[in-house]
């Protein structure tokens, strides 16, 4: 059942073939999310905390490679997402960044920008008001009689999106947009490029003259933080944040010019350049093929290198609306202050009845530098191919125009195994693809290679509200996608954690949770040597090198992080499609040993099991646990089993002497197993902890058992007790929580009622936890329950306006928390358990040198 009076997700997914655009009747690609073009949302989810990010539901699929920066085009046709500064977020519509179409049949003509008219945004005045001279495309609407008047359809199956326009032009008009996101391809997946393949078809009995225009603002120099302070501030939810004030509207030194290259005509947008190149500096290129055989009658290409987007737009729109032309100029003067410059190109053609034109248009950008605190900086991964001077946007565009068909075929090939699994519901197959969006738009960093990091360093933010990289407790769930599709990047992340574990930073910091509890200022050191860090730092500091940015809790006290690290290392070693990598295992072994020994130090009563301390000290960081807990204890036992397996392999195959560590971990394991059930088993399920007396069924109580079984390690608990616990979770937290329509709540009484009606974490449905639980149910053979849980969560996300900003948590009151969340990619754990780790084509490729 859909919420908020919206169509069901099944109805939104009904469509035809999975192929690209054709000259025949348009069909929605299979297993894709869709939305009537520009249709207003009746009642989407809204943010739970006022200080958290909520840009509204007009989110479409991002375009651009991992770590290259990305742009996003919404279901209403607007370009509104600008993640071009590593780790930072800016959302707003630039009206002059847009496609438009002119059409004439000889007796009448029409022209529309191919987006719904943007609204002026007083909060973002630099973005500009809507251009009053332009004619905007009409939105789909719901009539008073309940009938839908559809003017088009937007669909997305990442990394492919498509927009089909209908009922306005006589021509059949559709556009497919993509970037070369290819599993196992560590080169092209990093490219800063978006390809738009327009299919224009004349279904009438009269010739049609069509002209497709692309206009774009020169934004060189915009996407850099003008307030790079690393100081920590606390929001109303107790989480730390930093200010991001990009240089939106900066224009000094910008210039645009026509550019030509083999097989390409375009316009190049440039800005001021420092030495060395600064963040946000570089180039944009808009390009089309330089070819006379694009259409049967040939095409004309017009290029306007400069026009003023701060006016009414008539200088560009008047000639375009008249005959499909634009001023053909090459004005390359440099801008001063408050002197914005946009450029445009247009392709005009004549189509006879029945003729079709397939026209690729490319937007490429070369902004090679990402800067951090104190002047530190990183080069993006794609610079290993195109250099670091910020002058190769044309070369990137030329490769895209040359190879886009090959890229499109490769995307079809890697998606085919998922599309073919008709035993999985179509909404699940859709979400498997679309949840990958976060690898591009989740504030991703992917640096250039260096000897110790042959594929570079990689990171995705926990989310935009909690803006720190690769939170280890979150990626325990959310990294399943990276592991299965780009395993070398997963190894790169874990190697950075291995480096961080022995490091120390005694700088004292206030802990946010105590503020929310009215307990005043409590401080803790940032990083204790041996403690497994929570995260790999934040984009406003020195990510990868300065860990533990978050200060909501004292992460040195967390009882799950060390286990999370060990389990992920063993998982990646055992299950990466590129095969077992003993060198990787050896690299991580010393850190694993140090991390487990540090965690054992919290075993207060020497029963082998680390004790939770009363303040929230695990991934449910607003939920106090006391004494041995089911969640942390099960992870600990699984991690000890994994560590023993690591030590055995290293000793047998590399000759590393791990005998003393094996004896040590074996003794702890024997103690832990002897006490876990005795302390926590209540006859039906495992108590949340041994000392608090909290009478709830914790949904994710046996995550450690799930990991142990997944990795063919000895299970943490007996099968009959695992099944009994899962049954209790199913009844209390899923079926008795709003009839299973929302997903699994984190923790409820056995009868499904809340312990505290005003509680935070226990009453939330965490998307990634739900996907992880679904994988556990599937692993235990309970496929129907697994699919029911997944289906409920996917339904809420994709009918509730949360697509391409999937949050950590949703609530029964229609609110969400922490959008663009990393943990949701745990949906790929369900793919793994359901298919027996079916390999995606290309995923096991070794990186090119």
- Name the nearest CA neighbour of 737 among 630, 655, 810: 810
Q: What is the mean pLDDT of residues 798-823?
A: 97
Query: Does residue 303 carry a pLDDT above 90?
Result: yes
Tens digits of residue pLDDT in 211-221: 999 999 999 99
**pLDDT tier at 233, thresholds 50, 70, 90:** confident
CA distance linking residue 664 with residue 735, whole number of Å: 43
CA distance linking residue 248 with residue 251, whole number of Å: 9
Residues 672 and 680: beta-carbon distance below 8 Å: no
Burial of 145 (0-12, 13-18, 19+ CB in 10 A): exposed
Predicted pLDDT of residue 5: 36
Q: What is the mean pLDDT of residues 19-28?
A: 61
CA distance linking residue 157 with residue 847, whole number of Å: 25
Tens digits of residue pLDDT in 750-765: 999 999 888 888 899 9
Residues 478 and 461: beta-carbon distance below 8 Å: no
Query: Does residue 849 carry a pLDDT above 70?
Result: no
Q: What is the pTM of this model?
A: 0.96
CA distance linking residue 631 with residue 844, whole number of Å: 32
At residue 668, φ and ψ (nearest 5 deg) are -60, -40
- 255 DSSP β-pair partners: 270
Q: Which residue has the tokens 């307990």?
A: 519
Query: Does residue 107 carry a pLDDT above 80?
Result: yes
Query: Does residue 13 carry a pLDDT above 90?
Result: no
Predicted pLDDT of residue 10: 55
CB proximity list for 191: less than 8 A, separation 6 or greater: 64, 65, 68, 179, 180, 382, 385, 396, 399, 400
* Residues belonging to the chain: 849
Query: Does residue 558 carry a pLDDT above 80?
Result: yes
Predicted pLDDT of residue 295: 61
Query: Does residue 51 carry a pLDDT above 90?
Result: no
Predicted pLDDT of residue 4: 33
Predicted pLDDT of residue 243: 82
- 173 DSSP β-pair partners: 165, 200
Residues 344 and 513: beta-carbon distance below 8 Å: no
Q: What is the mean pLDDT of residues 463-481?
A: 97
Q: Which residue has the tokens 């009414």?
A: 312
Lowest mean pLDDT: which of 20-34, 294-308, 464-478?
20-34
Tens digits of residue pLDDT in 304-347: 999 999 999 999 999 999 999 999 999 999 999 999 999 999 99
CA distance linking residue 756 with residue 740, whole number of Å: 20
Predicted pLDDT of residue 211: 98
CA distance linking residue 612 with residue 528, whole number of Å: 18
- 626 DSSP β-pair partners: 613
Predicted pLDDT of residue 358: 96
**pLDDT tier at 235, thresholds 50, 70, 90:** confident
Pull the structure tokens for residue 426.
Answer: 């179509």
- The mean of the pLDDT values for the chain is 93
Tell me the percentage of the chain whose pLDDT exceeds 70.
94
Which pairing describes strands 109-113 and 299-307: parallel, antiparallel, or unpaired?
Answer: unpaired
Tens digits of residue pLDDT in 128-164: 568 999 999 999 999 888 899 999 999 999 999 999 9
Predicted pLDDT of residue 20: 41
Predicted pLDDT of residue 296: 58
Give 232's DSSP letter.
-
């Amino acid at each position: 059942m859909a919420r908020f009076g919206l169509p069901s997700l099944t109805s939104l997914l009904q469509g035809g073939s999975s192929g690209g655009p054709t000259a025949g009747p348009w069909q929605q690609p299979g297993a894709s999310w869709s939305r009537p073009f520009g249709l207003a949302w009746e009642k989407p989810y809204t943010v739970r905390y006022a200080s958290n990010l909520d840009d509204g539901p007009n989110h479409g699929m991002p375009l651009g490679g991992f770590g290259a920066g990305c742009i996003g085009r919404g279901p209403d046709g607007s370009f509104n997402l600008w993640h071009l500064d590593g780790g930072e977020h800016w959302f707003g519509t630039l009206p002059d960044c847009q496609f438009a179409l002119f059409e004439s049949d000889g007796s009448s003509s029409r022209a529309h920008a191919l987006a719904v008219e943007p609204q002026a945004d007083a909060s973002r005045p630099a973005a500009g008001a809507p251009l009053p001279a332009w004619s905007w495309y009409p939105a789909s609407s719901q009539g008073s009689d309940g009938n839908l008047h559809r003017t088009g359809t937007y669909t997305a199956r990442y990394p492919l999106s498509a927009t089909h326009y209908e009922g306005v032009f006589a021509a059949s008009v559709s556009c497919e947009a993509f970037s070369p996101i290819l599993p196992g391809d560590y080169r092209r997946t990093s490219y800063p490029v978006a390809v738009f393949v327009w299919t224009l078809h004349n279904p009438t009995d009269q010739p049609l003259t069509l002209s497709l225009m692309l206009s774009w603002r020169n934004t060189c120099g915009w996407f850099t933080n003008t307030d790079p302070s690393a100081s920590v501030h606390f929001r109303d939810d107790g989480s730390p944040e930093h200010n991001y004030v990009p240089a939106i509207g900066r224009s000094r030194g910008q210039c645009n010019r026509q550019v030509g290259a083999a097989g390409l005509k375009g316009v190049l947008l440039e800005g001021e350049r420092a030495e060395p190149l600064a963040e946000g500096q570089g180039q944009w290129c808009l390009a089309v093929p330089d070819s006379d055989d694009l259409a049967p009658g040939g095409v004309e290409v017009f290029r306007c290198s400069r026009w003023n987007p701060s006016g009414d737009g008539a200088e560009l729109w008047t000639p375009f609306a008249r005959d499909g032309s634009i001023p053909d100029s090459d004005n390359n003067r440099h801008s001063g202050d408050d002197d914005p410059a946009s450029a445009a190109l247009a392709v005009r053609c004549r189509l006879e009845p029945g003729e079709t034109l397939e026209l690729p248009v490319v937007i490429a950008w070369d902004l090679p530098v990402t800067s951090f605190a104190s002047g530190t900086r990183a080069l993006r991964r794609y610079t290993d191919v195109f250099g670091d001077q910020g002058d190769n946007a044309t070369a990137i565009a030329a490769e895209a125009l040359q190879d886009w068909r090959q890229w499109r075929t490769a995307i079809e090939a890697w998606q085919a195994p998922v599309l073919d699994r008709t035993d999985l519901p179509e909404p699940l197959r859709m979400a498997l693809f679309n949840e990958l969006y976060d690898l591009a738009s989740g504030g991703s960093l992917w640096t250039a290679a260096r000897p110790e990091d042959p594929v570079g360093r990689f990171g995705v933010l926990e989310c935009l509200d909690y803006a720190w990289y690769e939170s280890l407790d979150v990626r325990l769930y959310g990294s399943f996608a990276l592991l299965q599709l780009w395993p070398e990047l997963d190894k790169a992340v874990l190697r950075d954690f291995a480096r961080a574990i022995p490091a120390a930073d005694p700088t004292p910091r206030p802990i946010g949770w105590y503020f929310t509890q009215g307990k005043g200022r409590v401080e803790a050191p940032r990083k204790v040597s041996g403690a497994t860090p929570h995260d790999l730092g934040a984009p406003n500091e020195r990510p990868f090198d300065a860990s533990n940015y978050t200060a909501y809790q004292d992460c040195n006290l967390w009882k799950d992080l060390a286990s999370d690290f060990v389990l992920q290392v063993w998982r990646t070693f055992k299950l990466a499609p590129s095969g077992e990598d003993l060198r990787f295992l050896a690299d991580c072994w010393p850190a694993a040993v140090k991390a487990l020994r540090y965690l054992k130090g919290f075993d207060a009563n020497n029963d082998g099991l680390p004790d939770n301390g009363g303040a929230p000290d695990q991934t449910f960081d607003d939920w106090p646990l006391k004494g041995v807990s089911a969640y942390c204890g099960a992870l600990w036992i699984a991690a000890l089993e994994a560590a023993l397996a690591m030590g055995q392999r290293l000793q047998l195959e590399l000759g590393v002497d791990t005998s003393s560590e094996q004896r040590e971990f074996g003794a702890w394991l024997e103690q832990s197993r002897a006490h876990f059930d005795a302390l926590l088993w209540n006859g039906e399920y495992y108590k949340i902890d041994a000392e608090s007396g909290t009478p709830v069924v914790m949904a994710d109580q046996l995550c450690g058992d799930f990991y142990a079984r997944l990795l063919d390690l000895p299970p943490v608990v007996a099968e009959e007790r695992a099944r009994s616990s899962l049954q209790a979770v199913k009844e209390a937290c899923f079926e008795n929580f709003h009839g299973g329509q929302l997903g699994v709540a984190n923790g409820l009484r056995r009868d499904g009622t809340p312990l505290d009606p005003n509680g935070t974490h226990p009453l939330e449905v965490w998307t990634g936890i739900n996907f992880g639980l679904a994988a556990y149910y599937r692993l235990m053979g309970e496929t129907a329950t697994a699919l029911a849980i997944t289906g409920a969560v996917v339904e809420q996300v994709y009918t509730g306006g949360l697509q391409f900003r999937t949050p950590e948590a949703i609530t029964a009151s229609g609110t969400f928390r922490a959008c663009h969340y990393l943990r949701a990619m745990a949906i790929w754990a369900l793919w793994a358990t359901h298919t027996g780790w079916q390999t995606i084509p290309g995923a096991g490729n070794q990186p090119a040198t």
